[in-house]
Chains A and B, each alone.
With several copies, the nearest count.
Chain A
């Protein structure tokens, strides 16, 4: 339970930090922000890897894991690349 409180503390602090940081992002960068955070949410890939790579489990689990890895990878790779493409276009005079 001690650990649960610490995780809760971490969660709350991350939310506060998120609010402070995101409200500082200028409107110009709102589209890259959307695609960028989309890529970050692909962190579920970590869970997908564990599912796809687990040992003895039935084929169904590995199959679902394969689908999960594929989808999460699209999310991550596509998200970061397209964000990078957009951001590279922003130039000061």
Chain B
């Protein structure tokens, strides 16, 4: 095909990606946006296949078939409650793809590919001119090295994130020396990149980059707590976007630049939104544990003798009398898969003339917008999901707040106790409501590991038990009343 036509079609694909993201700015246009974006991808793929450089279709057909199969099964089988894991896994595959592409590019430009493992470590005679003339060759080598590094790190990092979210890995491991150990690893891989650029035929340096980066991904993410995984994933996603944009520079390809920049900014902005919503800096999320807190807070002292508990049918009586109820979901609702039960409870209340809204904290659950997706699955209309800033002033006029599986995002210590590690994090002020019902299995803390004075307040009752079971019992009691 005429190269101008090819470039033009790539540009069209880039515009489709822009329109896709633009569609995502409104729920109404979002489905169409996603389809436009997918269309852009299809066009870019087709044009690449027709572009003449591709002659051997066997591997491609095999890869596309296998990949589509796996991707489709994953996408259609996954439960909505497991969305964070799914995104982590997809992100890992993306990293793996970048890694293998850069490796393939390296060995193909090198000319002589090794046949056995011992051969891999034998240096080959090559100069940067294999990769492009003059400075372009060096730039290409640097970009290959960096892409391998980012790709490998994203691969293992995302897999660890997946394992943590899926609760396959519960404990935290880190390199001895913590950030310093990681720093040494990072410096070592950077040195390997420099070696590769200086002596492009030094295949052992390439192997070293791959190995170091894979390990670095493991060690960087393993010490980070499970609930902080979304931040890690957004950040890794942003890196992969920037890497794609850099590749676009090398290839002079507009669609890579446009798509890569969009992904890069998206990841960074989501990271920042999460950090602001938690009132923590990015460094703190990545390297710090949560601030240790001035004094150790004694949970027993806070709770002792002050916690009231109730049965679901008692709560149902409260709900029947209420004019306005706000439901505040958290990670526990996802764990209990209680979203449908919650919707049914809300339906019953509304049938009795109660006004029901949902108060959604920006970092409730395990990824931004997690609760919105779950409740959308349960067919709760999205205009009932009210953001923190807008729901907070209404709590004073609310008769009952039902907190289901949320903890940290309702903890009044964030507002009041200056020494607390979560001090300054904006929260849902559920304690301002006339009555608070908290549904969880025990008094055990949430992700931040802190006791929650909300549970000990006079106007709070605890309903102990699995979230779904408790809610179903409330609905039954309410319908019989």
Residues of A within 8 A of B (CB): 1-19, 21-55, 57-93
Contact = CB atoms under 8 A, between A and B. Distances in A.
A16 B233 CA distance: 22
Interface of B: 3-4, 7-8, 11, 14-15, 17-18, 20-22, 24-28, 30-31, 34-35, 37-38, 41, 44-45, 48-49, 53-57, 59-60, 62-64, 66-68, 70-72, 74-76, 78, 80, 83, 86-87, 90-91, 93-94, 96-98, 100-101, 103-105, 107-108, 112-115, 233-234, 237, 240-241, 244-245, 247-249, 251-267, 269-270, 273, 360, 362, 367-370, 372-373, 376-377, 379, 381-385, 387
A88 B100 contact: no
A44 B247 contact: yes
A49 B54 contact: yes
B94 A71 contact: yes
A37 B107 contact: no
A76 B87 contact: no
A38 B113 contact: no
Contacts of B234: 34
Nearest to A60: B113
13 contacts: A5-B4, A7-B252, A27-B369, A27-B387, A28-B372, A30-B270, A35-B90, A41-B241, A44-B97, A45-B41, A65-B60, A71-B97, A89-B373
Secondary structure of the A side of the interface?
helix
Given A10-B257, A37-B241, A74-B71, A28 B100 contact: no
Contacts of B94: 38, 41-42, 44, 71-72, 75
A62 B377 CA distance: 42
Secondary structure of the B side of the interface?
helix
Contacts, number: 400
Contacts of B382: 28, 90-92
A15 B30 CA distance: 21
Contacts of B362: 27
A31 B373 contact: yes
A69 B376 CA distance: 33
Contacts of A71: 67, 93-94, 96-97, 100
Given A72-B67, A77-B75, A5 B11 contact: yes
B240 A90 contact: no
Given A14-B260, A74-B90, A87-B34, 16 more contacts: A2-B3, A8-B11, A10-B254, A18-B262, A24-B25, A31-B370, A31-B373, A37-B263, A41-B259, A44-B244, A46-B48, A50-B53, A65-B100, A73-B68, A84-B31, A84-B35
Given A21-B18, A31-B368, A44-B97, A50 B48 contact: yes
A41 B158 CA distance: 15
Contact of A53 (B60, B76, B101, B249): B60
A84 B45 CA distance: 20
B398 to A, nearest CB: 20
Contacts of A21: 18, 21-22, 25, 262
A86 B83 contact: yes
A52 B60 CA distance: 6
Given A34-B368, A76-B71, A81-B75, A41 B34 contact: no
A91 B379 contact: yes
Contacts of B71: 73-79, 81
Contacts of B258: 9-10, 13-14
A64 B98 CA distance: 11
A90 B41 contact: no
Given A36-B37, A90-B27, A48 B70 contact: no
